Amino acid sequence: MIIRAKAPLRIGLAGGGTDVSPYSDRYGGAVLNATVSLYASATIEPTDDGKITLYAADKEELIELDATEQLEIDGQLDLLKGVYNRVVRDYTKRPLSFRMTTFVDSPFGSGLGTSSTITVTILGAFVEWLGLPLSDYDIAHLAYEIERVDLEMAGGKQDQYAATFGGFNFMEFYADDKVIVNPLRIKSEYVSELAFSILIYHTGTSRLSSDIIKGQAANFKEKKQKSVEAGHRLKEQAVMMKEALLTGKLDKLGEILDFGWKYKKQTAPGVTNPFIDEIYDAAKAAGATGGKISGAGGGGYMMLYAPGNARYKVAKTLEQFGGSLKRFTFTERGLRTWKAN
């Protein structure tokens, strides 16, 4: 028997950063994101040899361990180990013997929620294998706890829920880890036009998002007025984006993205840099009406909105910066799991 799981990566359209504690705990956060046709996958092959083999195929990293109740968190495939440790601790109460293979379509540090998506995917594979009684909300919350509590990885809450639920979602975040996921029923023609008008551009650089997120969290904790006010504006942006998408006012999207990008840069140092600013300015000069860095910032993917046929001139302009465009479509489904012979 083989157990497989697959979950989509996401792009954040508005409100990013307001899902980070303590902002979401004090003021309530709001984020609008959408999943795309880039995936994380995980395969579990049960064995009876008393061993655990972990293989991250995208990074060509493989380790073999004795099957114990808790694996050492030592910097080697810690996300895989972290999920296993929590599953054994909370559910099986005994070691498991298996081979796990994972793969992510986008490199870590790219800003598409890769770490959280692979965590959700691995957890989903265990849920399918062991028949664990976990709902979608349970899976997303447990994935969040594994990353943020067990592994002490800095970050927000939106990525785990995006990967689990899939589609376009307006998410609300409150104190005590309360999250409400509101799926959006956007007309198919609006979604098609949005996909045509958005360019996802990899800058050719990566970043350690945790450093930026730690800066955001510190600014929110210290109630630094500029950062907190920026958070309020980003929350407003999420509402603006929701209304524009539901009513088909796609001509407003570039302006809304540009509005959010202005305030996103005020949440913490490192969100942008001269290279990112140069790309953004060049894209706007070529016909893009707005955009943003994907994820926490500092590198990875940028999302640019180029309405009408402006995408072609913008794409040509981006060639000079040495990065690459990524083809994608929007997806409706989130985490999927199944068994194969």
Distance CA 20, CA 2 (A): 36
- Whole-Å CA distances, 123 to 140, 145, 213, 225: 9, 12, 24, 38
- Whole-Å CA distances, 297 to 9, 19, 124, 172, 212: 16, 15, 28, 21, 7
**Which residues does 3 contact at the CB level (< 8 Å), separation at least 6?**
43, 44, 45, 46, 125, 128, 129, 337, 338, 339, 340
Q: Cα torsion at 107, 112, 113, 117 (round to 10°)?
A: -70
- Residue 138 appears among annotated catalytic residues: no
Would you state the structure tokens that stand for residue 250, as one six-digit string?
Answer: 């796609």
Q: Which of 297, 266, 295, 267 is nearest to 279 (CA)?
A: 297
CA atoms within 13 A on the CB side of 196: 11
Supply φ then ψ for residue 157, to 5 degrees. Answer: -115, -10
Would you state the structure tokens that stand for residue 161, as one six-digit string?
Answer: 């829920």
Choosing from 105, 159, 258, 281, which is the catalytic residue? 159
CA atoms within 13 A on the CB side of 92: 19
Would you state the structure tokens that stand for residue 80, as one six-digit string?
Answer: 């895989």
- Whole-Å CA distances, 46 to 54, 123, 227: 12, 15, 48
**Which residues does 124 contact at the CB level (< 8 Å), separation at least 6?**
5, 7, 42, 139, 164, 335, 336, 337
Distance CA 303, CA 66 (A): 43
- Whole-Å CA distances, 13 to 84, 122, 225: 32, 26, 24
Residues that are catalytic: 159
